Amino acid sequence: MDSKTFSYLYHKVRGYSDEDIRRESGLTEDEYELFEQAMSPMVEEIHKQQSRSEHIGNDFVQLTRYIYAGKSDQECGLTRPDAIKARSGEIFPLPAVGKLDFGKMSLQSAIGQRRSLRKYAEVPLSQEELSFLLWSASWARDFRSNERMEITFRNVPSAGSRHPLETFVDIRRVSGIKPGLYYYHPIKHCLILINEDPQTQEAILEGCFRQEMIQNSAVNFIFTAVPYRTGWRYGQRGYRYLYLDAGHVGQNVHLAAEAIGAGACMIGAYMDEAMNDVLGVDGIEEFVIYIAAVGKKPEA
């Protein structure tokens, strides 16, 4: 979904006047007329869902209590999901994890000075620094696979070590790596190129409501969740854990950024439809859950 469509729907279902919708969405009168005709089934559908959405938070918390949990798919003996999604493309190895050495800053300082940073220096990140950020957030230090279970262990905790998050990297300024959208392979510790189309980067900016840090950062990490990886074991309660897991990943990005003289800003304000489209995920079996912009600190 593009931002005009999103904006039209968003303002329409909130009851804005025709004129305000046109202005907010940047639509010409002709475009507006077309939208009015073409979008009316969608507007109707959103209105129908709105009454459900008004209670979904409370329902979610109440209905994912253990007391309601049926047997999980794992308990029922259903086939285990894979720990990693297979993706293919040109491979870019990252500097080896064993050689990373960014231990100069104390943990106390990293925690104490962490702030959300939205403006960055123009200097690029080095490949070592990118490697360190990914090691902190997503790297799998161990991988075990058999017929009954496939599991990774990482530098962040995860409920049942299910690690349902996948990591995409929107590279804008990293020495020796061409800008583009990549997938990070947590076992092979490498990047896999998805595409280097500048329009993808523009779509990511647009999908994040043009928040400035997306454009100025050296890299943006886009984390998706694959809910069945956790749901196989925990059923609907697993959805709670996706968001808890994402929080740990976000904090590790923040602290690792501090350790390399960089800063991060976590992003929860994005258009789900647009961001899922950019990555080519369906929004159900896999969806964007969290985004982090990272770049070097500007000179004081």
Ligand X SMILES: Cc1cc2nc3c(=O)[nH]c(=O)nc-3n(C[C@H](O)[C@H](O)[C@H](O)COP(=O)(O)O)c2cc1C
Interface with ligand X in residues 109-148 (CB under 6 A) = 115-116, 118
Which of residues 164 and 180 has its CB atom nearest to ligand X in the complex?
164
Q: Which of 211, 215, 216, 236 binds ligand X (CB under 6 A)?
A: 211
Taking the complex as a whole, the smallest distance from the CB of residue 209 to ligand X amounts, in Å, to: 8
Taking the complex as a whole, the smallest distance from the CB of residue 157 to ligand X amounts, in Å, to: 17
Interface with ligand X in residues 39-58 (CB under 6 A) = none
Edge-first strand listing for the sheet containing 180-185: 91-93, 190-195, 180-185, 165-171, 219-225, 287-296, 262-267
Number of residues that bind ligand X (CB under 6 A): 9
Which residue number has the CB closest to ligand X? 268
Binding of residue 265 to ligand X (CB under 6 A)? yes
Which of residues 35 and 270 has its CB atom nearest to ligand X in the complex?
270
Taking the complex as a whole, the smallest distance from the CB of residue 1 to ligand X amounts, in Å, to: 18
Taking the complex as a whole, the smallest distance from the CB of residue 268 to ligand X amounts, in Å, to: 3
Interface with ligand X by CB under 6 A: which residues?
115-116, 118, 211, 265-269
